[in-house]
A and B are shown apart, each in its own frame.
Chain A
Amino acid sequence: MAQIVLENLAHSYLAAPAGDADWALKQMDHVWKDGGAYALLGASGCGKTTLLNIISGLLRPSRGRVIFDGDDVTDAPTTARNIAQVFQFPVVYDTMTVRQNLAFPLRNRGRDADYIARRVQSIAAMIGMEEMLDRKARGLTADAKQKISLGRGMVREDVNAILFDEPLTVIDPQMKWALRTQLKALHREFGHTMIYVTHDQTEALTFADQVVVMHEGRVVQTGTPEALFETPAHTFVGYFIGSPGMNLLSAEVDGALARVAGCSVPLGADYGRPAGRVQIGIRPEYVIPDPEGPVTATVRRIEDVGHHRILRADVGGTPVNAILPEGQPAATGPVRLSFLADRIGVFSDDWRLAPASGRAGGR
């Protein structure tokens, strides 16, 4: 168990990276606290796996340092880092039995047979494979193999961190939920530093205390699921998290007023006159059909997704979604909407702006 610090880290797969686009990971500093349960969330190809492989030492970063508990391990090989990693696709040792597979990392560390037997038994119980322990791993189903991979990742108690690289992709939904709960329990019990890579926000939000959102090789925000939901620091976080994601509308902001497609929308605070490409963001949960509302929109369609309905509308050519509680009447056609003022975020060049509090306070 260790605190993992990434210092000035950057990585490119090219020998001579030139532009910004050549860097798979843009320069970053990040601290993974000892014992934290982190989810690393982002779209495919945003650098999540690259970051994970750098932490585990499968990849040497082009720049910067990786520090475990104060020790620089940038040049240390994977085997010296004592780290566990579970990959997206199952990796099992075909010729070994399930038991030998689970025992393999412990045997490589030279643990005694008694300890190994006990540990394997408890991991097997955790992944629900006690009956299969003496079967050859070859010929098992993909999800059984992935459970073995997970088990191998968790079998060592003394690892510095456990990294999961979208480990539940091949597992069926019911088992997914059960395994995720197990991982949570394991984390509570042993307090390993865990980093869980996923592009599934539900998975991220249920697993982690802290969610790290990556976008185009950058960490754009780290925070609790609630913080990501309520105050996304970047437009990507806004629309990637939430279902549907945050509505983003180009706007001209002047003080506490935004002009959006010809309508004046009051904001919760004074933002001055921000420069750059300015957008306002509002979660569908906080968009309310209101005959007195300032925003004119056209409703395209209404989707019933069970416990609520999603109103798909259009404001001056930009799609805007609203979540309607069950029972509220809705019809397609023109409608007026209001946005909850203190839930509106203002973004300049995709980054969230803080209210110009001095002036707001002056009023």
Chain B
Amino acid sequence: MDKTENNRAWFLVLPVLVVVAFSAIIPLMTVVNYALNDTFGNNEFFWVGLEWFEETLASERVHQALGRQILFSAIILAIQVPLGVYIALNMPRKGFWASFCLVVMALPLLIPFNVVGTIWQIFGRVDIGLLGHTLAAAGIDYNYTNDPLDAWLTIIVMDVWHWTSLIALLAYAGLQSIPQAFYQAARIDQASRWSVFRYIELPKMRGVLLIAVLLRFMDSFMIYTEPFVVTGGGPGNSTTFLSIDLVKMAVGQFDLGPAAAFSIVYFLVILLVSWVFYTVMTNLDREGRP
């Protein structure tokens, strides 16, 4: 059959193109513009080429922030994914307690980010906070405003508290979709608890876990509000993650050029890592297939 050539169809795409242009492409291009120029106000721009990028990529400060960021995301994923799955495996499957657990689990997800930050900021204070004061009373030397390790611990525990539910809920949804017959067959086949998890539950949760890992990676890699509220990036620079550093650079020091270059690199890193995660996880068990 002959295909009708009609290029007028392109006009139908035009509205979407306009929306995308205004919502994404043009703002992004503004950033690109700042990243490739220097400006001294008055909308006067001087072409500097890739200088800002070279500066960003060579900057010790950015390297350190990136290092902290990668460490943070790695810790977050390493704790939250197994913990979330473990919680999902142990949640009741039906009845009143199932609903109860779901509601309780969903609560932290509903709290605004800066409120979460404020809660933990106060919670951890040695003078008035329940946690901080209790620890101090127990003779433990805990102070997140002085000690980098304490600051990290506080932020990690806070993030685990805030976001593990998301993984648990997604994993739970995956588990609920497994027909009873699979568990029965596994009992007949005398499979161990580990085998049931490895060969039935994990494969069935794979799809939702992929989404969960991606979401948690992206969110933790972009984290700003909570550590900013709790520690403000301190003590020193010890909890200055990429976003906090970026804001300091762009708004604090008004270094728009380096900040713009930084933003673009930051965005590309997230895109790249997400792509790697996705590709690895979707290809994980493809080998051996004809």
Contacts and interface: CB of A to CB of B under 8 A. Distances in A.
Contact of B184 (A87, A105, A108, A135): A87
B104 interface: no
Interface stretch (A88-96, A122-130, A321-329): A88-96
A108 B189 contact: yes
A149 B185 CA distance: 9
Interface in B180-204: 181-182, 184-185, 187-192, 195, 199-200, 203
Contacts of B2: none
Question: Most A CB atoms within 10 A — which of B190, B191, B195, B285?
Answer: B190
Interface stretch (A18-26, A30-38, A74-82, A255-263): A74-82
B290 interface: yes
A241 B153 CA distance: 73
B200 A93 contact: yes
Contacts of A84: 188
Question: Most B CB atoms within 10 A — which of A78, A95, A96?
Answer: A95
B288 interface: yes
B290 to A, nearest CB: 6
A93 B199 contact: yes
B3 interface: no
Interface residues of B, number: 19
A105 B200 contact: no
A136 B286 CA distance: 9
Contacts of B189: 104-105, 108, 152
Contacts of A94: 203
B191 A83 contact: no
A87 B199 contact: no
Contacts of B289: 135-136, 139
Contacts of A93: 199-200, 203
Contacts of B185: 85, 87, 91, 149, 152
A85 B186 CA distance: 10
Contacts of A89: 179, 181
Given A89-B179, A95-B285, A152-B189, 17 more contacts: A58-B184, A78-B184, A79-B191, A83-B188, A87-B181, A87-B184, A87-B185, A91-B182, A93-B200, A93-B203, A104-B189, A105-B188, A108-B195, A109-B190, A135-B288, A135-B290, A136-B288
Interface of B: 179, 181-182, 184-185, 187-192, 195, 199-200, 203, 285, 288-290
Interface of A: 53, 56-58, 77-79, 82-85, 87, 89, 91, 93-97, 104-105, 108-109, 134-136, 139, 149, 152-153
23 contacts: A58-B184, A77-B187, A78-B184, A78-B187, A82-B190, A83-B188, A85-B184, A87-B181, A87-B185, A89-B179, A91-B182, A91-B185, A95-B203, A96-B199, A97-B288, A104-B199, A108-B192, A109-B190, A135-B288, A135-B289, A135-B290, A136-B285, A153-B188
